[in-house]
Structure 1
Amino acid sequence: MTTSQAGHRRRAKGAPVWEEPPSLPGQVGKSTVLTAVVLAVLVPLWTVVVTSLSSREAINDAGGLVFIPRDIDMSAYQVLFAGGQVARALWTSTLVTVIGTAFSLVVTVLAAYALSRPGTVAHRGMLFYFLLTFLIYPGLVPSYLVVSGLGLKNSIWALIAPSAVSVFNLVVVRAFFQGIPQELTDSARLDGAGDFRILTRIMLPLSKAVIAVVGLFYAVGYWNIWFAAVLFIDDNNKFPIQRVLQSYILAGQTPQFSGTQTTLPPTLSIKMAIVVVTITPIVLVYPFIQRHFIKGVITGAVKG
């Protein structure tokens, strides 16, 4: 046994269990569990993608979902993007996600900055008011009456306004703002900067990580919005993509397709194509936000 190995064992002897070097069975067990989790995610996703690209013959031969690709048939995607309800739903979801994320970020950042300043009027009362929503939810009937009373029913603002501010995101951004040294803002005030200039020139450039993470949270929430569409949207032409997905796959309804196709692709391939189209935007955006994800969440949640 070498001197370094003996020293390592002496150090590990009195250490807690979680700080001890992993044993071989432990490493094998962790690798097995992680591999099983990855396969549990990738295998269904692979099956959905392959089925959406399969022909009628391949689906019939497989008796349903196709795991091993045999040929590539893009007819399901051609039907979806040729127009009709699915294409309109994609446009609606994109519009709701872009406008809703921008609106929510602006409101959240402004509210978080105000609540992070100790001298703000009614600072503690407003913070308590926001935190109270963690415990008390008004319910569906009051929410429906408010949205209907404001004339937002059957508009994209019915999908944006009720969920414009997430208190969790607000608390995270506020904690991050509080972690920025007070000396920076004090020196800016000595130079004559106001609150808006301090926010835009100091706070936001230092908060790119947490803003990116909160923006991702909002974007995913708006893209996956479904229940609000069930409550507030009655016009089929204004359904978001998740509402169409639910009505087509779970409720068994058939979306309206435009075009001159006399023979539609298999129903199963169209369903899987809708699923692929629904999850693709988030899958494409996430890698660009991933490097900010852990830093933004941990740093923003350290100080409350």
Structure 2
Amino acid sequence: MQLSFNKKKSSAIRDSKGDRIFSYFNAVIMTLISLACLYPIWYVLMASFSSTAAINANLGKLLWPQDFSLGAYQMTLKHPLILSGFRNIFLILVFSLPLQMTMTVLCGYFMAAKNVMFKNAIVSFFMFTMFFSGGLIPMYINQRDLGLYNNLWALIIPGALSLFNAIICKSSIDVIPDSLTESAHMDGAGDFRILTQIIVPVIKPTLAVLLLYYGVGLWNNWFNAAIFIQDNDLLPIQNILRGVLLANNQSLNQGTQSADVVNQFAETIKYAAISISTIPILCIYPFLQKYFVKGIMIGSVKG
């Protein structure tokens, strides 16, 4: 029996009136939430290009710079420790990120491995460190006794591994079919080759997200440097900008600017410092955004 097929295009399924109302309502709500999140960033950016007098005179919304000027950025960047702060944070990123990613992948691969002797006991020990720690004083004494006090390595070595990120990496590895690694073992590949040539390329989106997590964490971290770093020349940029925010008039008046010039940008210097510390991360995110959703969701559902 020969079947005949209708070549006409089937009409698209139309949404009901209730579905359309919900979609419009949802779009309006999400737009308002997005504006509420974006406007503070826009306000800080516009205020950084304004003068203190204009900001004080305009206490309402700020959509465009008032009395446009680059004076706040010029004075902030003239701070003698700004360049050393950027140098230190870039050194921390250069040494920390490869170390953190390597440790995370190795730990995730171990936790995802099967038929490993004493695996449960070792993983339980790992998990114990997530919930309990010695505290700040033992950590300080440990850093001092290891010779890491007042050294950039104090900001690199202790944070070499985040177990939470290793668990994310482990969940991503669990999604990979066992047949893929088993066939590689049968062909004579060792664990190192399987990890570097099979697993790492497959979980690349997850690694991109973890790289973003680690990078943002290192960039925003100022507390450890405030505890373990004594010399101002070794402080990362966040600690320098924090000093600018707390005492901008005194810290920026280095004798090269008159008091009137400093006072002219006393308020907007704070906004310039916030912009300098935020914009680099905002510029990096678009390059990793395509991996973000895929990487954070991989491993959440198996099947």
For this structure pair, what is the TM-score category when the shorter chain's length is used for normalisation?
0.7 to 0.9
Q: Match of 2:275, as an amino acid?
A: V
In structure 2, distance between residues paired with 1:133 and 1:79: 44
Conservation of the 8 A alpha-carbon contact between 1:86 and 1:255: no
Q: How does 1:110-259 map to 2 (within 5 A)?
A: 110-250=106-246, 254-255=250-251
TM-score, structure 2 normalization: 0.84
Q: 1:278, CA displacement in angstroms?
A: 0.4
Q: Quick one: distance in 2 between partners of 1:33 and 1:207?
A: 35
Q: Does 1:22 align with 2:16?
A: no
Does the CA contact (< 8 Å) of 1:209 and 1:295 recur in 2? yes
**Distance change >3 Å, CA 233–CA 254, structure 1 → 2:** farther
The question of 1:89 aligning with 2:82 is answered: no
Q: For residues 1-52 of structure 1, what are the alpha-carbon distances to aligned partners after superposition, in whole Å with 9 as ceiling and x for unaligned?
A: xxx999987xxxxxxxxxx96362x445433432332222222111111111
- CA 1:256 to 1:98, structure 2 compared with 1: closer, same or farther past 3 Å? farther
Distance 1:31 1:228 in 2: 42
> Corresponding residue for 2:103?
107
Corresponding position of 1:270: 269
Structural RMSD (CA): 2.9
Q: Does the 8 Å CA contact 1:85/1:256 hold for their aligned counterparts?
A: no
Work out the CA distance in 1 between the residues paired with 2:46 and 2:25.
31
Bigger Cα displacement from structure 2, 46-55 vs 294-303 = 294-303
Paired residue type of 2:135: G
C-alpha distance in 1 between matches for 2:216 and 2:76:
22
For the 8 Å contact 1:54–1:70, the answer to whether it is kept is yes
Deviates most, 277-286 or 57-66: 57-66
Q: Which runs of 5+ in 2 are unaligned?
A: 1-10
Whether contact under 8 Å (1:147, 1:158) holds in the other structure is yes
Residue identity over aligned pairs, in percent, reads 36
Contact map agreement 2:46 2:65 (CA 8 A) in 1: yes
Separation in 2, partners of 1:50, 1:23:
37
Matches within 5 A, 1:37-116: 37-62=33-58, 67-82=63-78, 84-116=80-112
**Cα separation, partners in 2 of 1:249 and 1:6, compared to 1, 3 Å:** closer
Pair 69,253 (structure 1): closer, same or farther in 2 beyond 3 Å: closer
Query: SS of the counterpart of 1:161?
Result: coil
Distance 1:141 1:235, change over 3 A: same
Structure 1 length normalisation: TM-score? Answer: 0.84
Aligned length: 290
Give the Cα–Cα distance (whole angstroms) in 1 for the partners of residues 138 and 99 of structure 2. 23
Paired residue type of 2:297? I
Deviations 1:215-260 (A, max 9, x none): 1111110001011112111211222222223333246684357794
What residue identity is the alignment partner of 1:276? S
In structure 1, how many angstroms separate the alpha carbons of the residues matched to 2:273 and 2:81?
11
Residues 21 and 133 (structure 1), Cα distance of their counterparts in 2 relative to 1, 3 Å cut: farther
Q: Alpha carbons of 1:259 and 1:84: their partners in 2 closer, same or farther (altered >3 Å)?
A: farther
Q: CA deviation at 1:214?
A: 0.7
